[in-house]
Structure 1
């Protein structure tokens, strides 16, 4: 497997991988979010995992901010992370996360945020963000799901409210909605 920067010619394959991974239609919410991130200029990094000549995974890093007391801090968001369903549980997501964090470090980002499974991302460089001084942008994000990876450019004063770029709000890609939120909270024992 090879991880490389996405090319414009990869877009339809990336969208197919994302739709499959999120069990959505080919023009579903996640695909529309990917397009909006690119169209708005918020997309900073787009990486693909290629195996046997086919794209089997994708990860995006886009710009957002932390509203710190001193000033706004430019940070990145790792979302979405997509692995083709027939290629899941083979280490592709882990490799894409590692490559994305390395790119974020290379770009000088102080932190990378995401919403996701605490069991999965916690062993891949992320920690619960709230205990580290960050405020989630929505009460619909279960607390353990709001996560951050602090990188070498991070400084102790860079805490505060996390603010998504417009594309996440415009495509309702922040937090969970009921009934899924209620199910997650009941299953995990964690309320947002």
Structure 2
């Protein structure tokens, strides 16, 4: 399994990963990934793929958002989406993608990475419930346990406050859970 940064030529393969990985919700996630990709720069954000025998089988994206802290706005990253082709589940691919992405972001001196996700999965990768650490979620539709953060050495104690998602998450209605 090779982990590497996404290339321009991977666009359709990454879209296919999310279409398959997220079932009925796949088109929304694939569209979100397409929009988020356009916000990634060499200094801000990251898109990694997992490749197996020349085929892209997984993808994770980290993109810029803001933390509205008392002193000032702080650039942070949001992990979303993370997708792996269903036939490659339970092989550690998603975990490997996340771990590699977190290594890169820590090296870039990113202070915080947030996500909405399964605490059982992400706690194994170092994420903690964000609410008890002084962070407020950007929407009440996000379950408390799903709102998680990982703090890196660049984090300072004053860096608490409300996460403000990038506009793309709102445009694609990809914040929290909708009822019905």
- Report the TM-score range of the alignment, normalised by the length of the smaller protein: over 0.9
Q: Is 2:59 the partner of 1:38? A: no
Deviation at 1:52, TM superposition (A): 1.4
CA distance in 1, matches of 2:163, 2:138: 6
Deviation at 1:100, TM superposition (A): 1.0
SS for the counterpart of 2:68 is: strand
- Alpha-carbon contact 2:39-2:63 (below 8 Å) kept: no
Alignment partner, residue 57 of structure 1 = 58
In structure 2, relative to structure 1, the CA distance for the partners of 1:95 and 1:41 (3 Å cut) is: closer
Between 1:81-90 and 1:41-50, the stretch displaced more is 41-50
CA distance in 2, matches of 1:12, 1:49: 14
TM-score by length of 2: 0.95
Equivalences, count: 178
Alignment partner, residue 94 of structure 2 = 93
Q: Is 2:120 the partner of 1:119? A: yes
RMSD across aligned C-alpha pairs, in angstroms? Answer: 1.4
Alignment partner, residue 188 of structure 1 = none
Deviation at 1:68, TM superposition (A): 0.3
Alignment partner, residue 9 of structure 2 = 9
Q: Is 2:144 the partner of 1:143? A: yes
Alignment partner, residue 28 of structure 2 = 29
Give 5+ residue unaligned stretches, structure 1. Answer: 180-192
Deviation at 1:7, TM superposition (A): 0.3
TM-score by length of 1: 0.89
Moved over 2 A (4+): 38-43
Deviation at 1:53, TM superposition (A): 1.2
> Structure 2 matches for 1:122-133, cutoff 5 A?
122-133=123-134
Alignment partner, residue 185 of structure 1 = none
Between 1:160-169 and 1:31-40, the stretch displaced more is 31-40
Give 5+ residue unaligned stretches, structure 2. Answer: none
